[in-house]
A and B are shown apart, each in its own frame.
Chain A
């Protein structure tokens, strides 16, 4: 076992020593997580483009929305409408001078709202309406208390104390859209991190299969087998080496996305288990690729191509939930779809081990077939190396 581990550690060391990997393994995946996060969500409270004069209504509304987890961007009225038109904001709110004055005077306030056509737009519009209602209510309460003889300061303190003491009623919202239900409660970067961990574990493993070919071409394989090393030890070392590379990539993306973007993986141990089992599949595929092809440049190209196509088909670039039904069926020919499904269950629905056993079973099946075929073709390639 020590001999196999020596081969494993040197494979991992070679992977980490390759400077071209610094960008593609450590930087690029996180850029994609960031990019996908920017595409898929602006926070659970919606994105509001707010314009208006320097007034208490503008300031109070911005503060109220921010308290409600909305992402508020203060811009001009034209820019606010353009942000909505371009889909970069869910709604625009334009506070007019009249509205600001009416708010200060305690009169009725009318605020124009432009609602986009995005999935979150109606919910965000409702959130703006709720914020305005809350402001109006607070104004009314203050007026009532001051009319009853309290000073304005005492009235504010009383309202603040009441706000702390009384827990507001919670509203449970059920969206009839299956897609909305699927992504409900998902953080901005959660989908991007889960999809990229699968894309890159597979892609980097396949691209890394070139080191197997280089070992044969350099004569290192031959030299290894001239040492007191059995073919079985050499094959085991290479298989473990591929798994170590896949796991390193997966763990890195999971850890970095958690630290940098606050990604919630659900049950971390289960998410890690899914990534490791998926890494076994990637290791097997890399062994097959690195053994059947003798040209490392060709293997690198094929590896990247297969990794990208399988990733795209398996939902690692675009949510599989948005695929048409027929394509979703085809997608499940890829291990990515099964691993993505397992991660989604863990990450979005709090699934336990039992719930994801079917997906893990399919992945282990893929891994078993690919590792067996990989071991067989690797043995044959070792003979070629001699």
Chain B
């Protein structure tokens, strides 16, 4: 990971990258909605844009999907320029918008057939692919029902199915789990993971930190139209300088246990009170075994060991001074 002086992340172009976004700017009047955003996505990679509402995520993906022209900067997909006038390159993009962009009067099959035709698919190939997608999204048994009769989760699944229909190289998912029940949400996340494993490049926007942590190989934290930081989850957390926390709770010789663990290399600090020791450590999952061994050897009887790791929420808070859901 590398950062320039403004805090945005440079996007070195790698040969074979599916998408390369370089210094893209988009203004609406006096408002600069996207201000010099750069990133790239490799085949099979899931890339997350994490930020609060109004951060510039949807404007960014509108430009990546070729819906909006960029005022400055370049976007290339498979080496070809992207924009509203570059119609052909749109065949390689599957957009799953935040809105349920489906016709409620029509059935799932009719919706899929319509959007398939817009992608240039016709005849038996289209019929076969529609059947396949209906199976993938679990709507084969309700394929003929009007979608206005569907539950919210079913509509979301169809929304994703339409994006997958033409087997795009890059799938863009814009907050696909907003307003979805936990069961459907989990199903959507599992399907995104499966697509990524199949080699599809995924651009995923969300303001749910847990989704970004679970799905994304790399994440850009975006706020006020700018990428504040980019990297893997661990890289971003290291950026904050925050350490993992381990809390040991129990009885016996607590002060002696605190002194013993403080001597370990992985432990930066250890503060004891009557029944517990709170440690700041580097890489808690690795360090915890040594900590427990040292504490028990020093005479502490352990009732509970609790590990707390800094998450992207705290990264975002540190970078922007506000919470993700603000």
Give the CA-CA distance A7 to B115 in the complex, in Å: 9
State whether the Cβ of A227 lies closer than 8 Å to any Cβ in chain B: yes
Known: A228-B88, A386-B68. A223 touches B95 (CB 8 A): yes
Partner of A226, one of B90, B104, B146: B90
Known: A13-B110, A227-B90, A228-B88. A3 touches B67 (CB 8 A): no
The answer on a CB contact under 8 Å between A228 and B106 is: no
Q: Which residue of A lies closest to B61 (CB)?
A: A226
Mark B103-123 against chain A: 1 for CB-CB distance below 8 A, else 0: 111100010001101111010
Give the CA-CA distance A385 to B158 in the complex, in Å: 21
Contacts of B98 in A (CB 8 A): 219
* Closest Cβ–Cβ distance, residue B2 to chain A (whole Å): 32
Number of interface residues of B (CB under 8 A): 32
Contacts of B60 in A (CB 8 A): none
Mark A220-242 against chain B: 1 for CB-CB distance below 8 A, else 0: 10111111111100000000000
The answer on a CB contact under 8 Å between A3 and B106 is: no
Known: A219-B97, A386-B68. A6 touches B118 (CB 8 A): yes
Within 8 A of B (CB), among A357-386: 386
Q: Which residue of A lies closest to B117 (CB)?
A: A6
Mark A199-232 against chain B: 1 for CB-CB distance below 8 A, else 0: 0000000000000000000111011111111110
Contacts of A226 in B (CB 8 A): 65-67, 90, 93, 95, 97
Partner of B105, one of A3, A17, A386: A17
State whether the Cβ of A18 lies closer than 8 Å to any Cβ in chain B: yes
State whether the Cβ of B78 lies closer than 8 Å to any Cβ in chain A: no
Known: A2-B117, A218-B103, A230-B87. A386 touches B67 (CB 8 A): yes
Contacts of A349 in B (CB 8 A): none
State whether the Cβ of B266 lies closer than 8 Å to any Cβ in chain A: no
Q: Which residue of A lies closest to B64 (CB)?
A: A226
Q: Which residue of A lies closest to B172 (CB)?
A: A226
Within 8 A of B (CB), among A3-34: 3, 6-7, 10, 13-14, 17-18
The answer on a CB contact under 8 Å between B93 and A220 is: no
Contacts of B162 in A (CB 8 A): 223
The residue in B101, B120, B146 that gathers the most chain A C-beta atoms within 10 A of its C-beta is: B101
State whether the Cβ of B294 lies closer than 8 Å to any Cβ in chain A: no
Give the CA-CA distance A386 to B118 in the complex, in Å: 17
Q: Which residue of A lies closest to B107 (CB)?
A: A17
The answer on a CB contact under 8 Å between B105 and A223 is: no
Give the CA-CA distance A231 to B98 in the complex, in Å: 22
Contacts of A218 in B (CB 8 A): 99-104
The answer on a CB contact under 8 Å between B66 and A229 is: no
State whether the Cβ of B177 lies closer than 8 Å to any Cβ in chain A: no
The answer on a CB contact under 8 Å between A14 and B106 is: yes
Contacts of B93 in A (CB 8 A): 226
Contacts of B102 in A (CB 8 A): 218, 220
Known: A227-B118, A228-B120. A386 touches B62 (CB 8 A): yes
* Closest Cβ–Cβ distance, residue B130 to chain A (whole Å): 14
State whether the Cβ of B322 lies closer than 8 Å to any Cβ in chain A: no
How extensive is the interface on chain A, given as a class? 20 to 34
The answer on a CB contact under 8 Å between A10 and B114 is: yes
* Closest Cβ–Cβ distance, residue B324 to chain A (whole Å): 24
Mark A312-341 against chain B: 1 for CB-CB distance below 8 A, else 0: 000000000000000000000000000000
Q: Which residue of B lies closest to A17 (CB)?
A: B105
Partner of B106, one of A7, A10, A223, A231: A10
State whether the Cβ of B91 lies closer than 8 Å to any Cβ in chain A: yes
Give the CA-CA distance A17 to B146 in the complex, in Å: 9
Give the CA-CA distance A18 to B97 in the complex, in Å: 25
Contacts of A224 in B (CB 8 A): 118
Known: A10-B106, A14-B106. A227 touches B115 (CB 8 A): yes
Contacts of B65 in A (CB 8 A): 226
Give the CA-CA distance A220 to B101 in the complex, in Å: 5
Give the CA-CA distance A226 to B92 in the complex, in Å: 11
The answer on a CB contact under 8 Å between B103 and A14 is: yes
Contacts of B67 in A (CB 8 A): 222, 225-226, 386
* Closest Cβ–Cβ distance, residue A65 to chain B (whole Å): 53
The residue in A13, A17, A222, A228 that gathers the most chain B C-beta atoms within 10 A of its C-beta is: A228
Within 8 A of B (CB), among A221-271: 222-231
Give the CA-CA distance A229 to B116 in the complex, in Å: 12
Known: A13-B110, A17-B146, A18-B105. A228 touches B90 (CB 8 A): yes
Give the CA-CA distance A222 to B172 in the complex, in Å: 14
Q: Which residue of A lies closest to B119 (CB)?
A: A227
Give the CA-CA distance A230 to B118 in the complex, in Å: 10
Contacts of B105 in A (CB 8 A): 13-14, 17-18
* Closest Cβ–Cβ distance, residue B16 to chain A (whole Å): 24
Within 8 A of A (CB), among B135-191: 146, 162
Give the CA-CA distance A230 to B120 in the complex, in Å: 13
Contacts of A220 in B (CB 8 A): 101-103
Contacts of B90 in A (CB 8 A): 226-229
Excluding A218-B99, A219-B100, 6 further A-B contacts by CB distance (< 8 Å) are A6-B114, A10-B106, A222-B99, A222-B101, A226-B93, A228-B87
A residues with CB within 8 A of B: 2-3, 6-7, 10, 13-14, 17-18, 218-220, 222-231, 386
Give 14 A-B contacts (CB < 8 Å), ordered by A residue: A2-B117, A6-B117, A6-B118, A10-B110, A218-B99, A219-B99, A222-B99, A223-B95, A223-B97, A228-B87, A228-B90, A228-B118, A229-B87, A230-B87
Q: 4 tightest A-B contacts by CB?
A: A219-B99, A219-B101, A6-B117, A227-B118
B residues with CB within 8 A of A: 62, 65-68, 84, 87-88, 90-91, 93, 95, 97-106, 110, 114-115, 117-120, 122, 146, 162
